[in-house]
């Protein structure tokens, strides 16, 4: 069974439907590639999927090991290349809500991000720079 249905709406815009839930989203080509930039571009979605996957897999580890990551945030900067046009770099800044994690939990947090399925699906030539920030309370 299909996971997602995507329909071209014209004007470099698509509508994607998540078939299990019925949730919909629009994509638009970016302004630097003939689009209006009024919605996520397909490559924005890849960057978004990477951040969401990292947070999800980290949340699973936190649940399993009895600590909390609520409020953790990720900012992603996507760098595009040319010939061919593609993502060449993803810079992630992961901000955790406090700095009171044990050394064991910090190590786990910083290692688990490399085990998320999106990370493991990305081409090895895509540079992935991941920075962790622990907020002071």
| CATH number of the domain within which 51 lies | 3.30.300.20
Number of structural domains in the chain: 2
Domain interval for residue 73: 42-134
Same domain, yes or no: 117 and 57: yes
Q: Strand 73-81 to strand 86-96: parallel, antiparallel, or no bridges (unpaired)?
A: antiparallel
Q: What is the pLDDT of residue 136?
A: 83
137: pLDDT confidence band, cut at 50, 70 and 90?
low
How far apart CA 28 and CA 6 sit, in angstroms, is 12
Same domain, yes or no: 48 and 77: yes
Same domain, yes or no: 58 and 13: no
User: In which residue are the tokens 């406090």 written?
Assistant: 98
Percentage above 70 pLDDT, the chain = 99
Same domain, yes or no: 52 and 93: yes
Q: Mind listing the pLDDT tens digit for each residue in 12-38?
A: 999 999 999 999 999 999 999 999 999
**Among candidates 79, 57, 86, which has minimal Cα distance to 128?**
79
Q: Give the length of the chain.
A: 137
How far apart CA 50 and CA 23 sit, in angstroms, is 19
Same domain, yes or no: 85 and 128: yes
80: helix, coil or strand?
strand
Same domain, yes or no: 13 and 78: no
Same domain, yes or no: 47 and 95: yes
Same domain, yes or no: 17 and 46: no
Percentage above 90 pLDDT, the chain = 99
How far apart CA 12 and CA 16 sit, in angstroms, is 13
Residues 6+ apart with CB under 8 A from 39: 13, 25, 26, 27, 28
76: pLDDT confidence band, cut at 50, 70 and 90?
very high
């Amino acid at each position: 069974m299909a996971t997602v249905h995507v329909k071209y709406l014209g004007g470099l815009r698509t509508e994607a439907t998540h078939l299990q839930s019925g949730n919909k989203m629009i994509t638009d080509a970016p302004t630097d590639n003939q689009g209006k930039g009024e919605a996520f571009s397909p490559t924005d979605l890849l960057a978004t999927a990477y951040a969401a996957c990292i947070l999800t897999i980290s949340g699973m580890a936190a649940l399993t090991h009895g600590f909390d990551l609520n409020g953790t945030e990720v900012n992603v900067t996507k760098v595009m290349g040319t010939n061919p046009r593609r993502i060449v770099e993803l810079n992630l800044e992961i901000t955790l809500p406090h700095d009171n994690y044990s050394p064991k939990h910090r190590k786990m947090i910083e290692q688990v991000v490399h085990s998320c399925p999106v990370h493991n699906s990305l081409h090895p030539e895509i540079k992935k720079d991941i920075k962790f920030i622990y907020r002071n309370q």
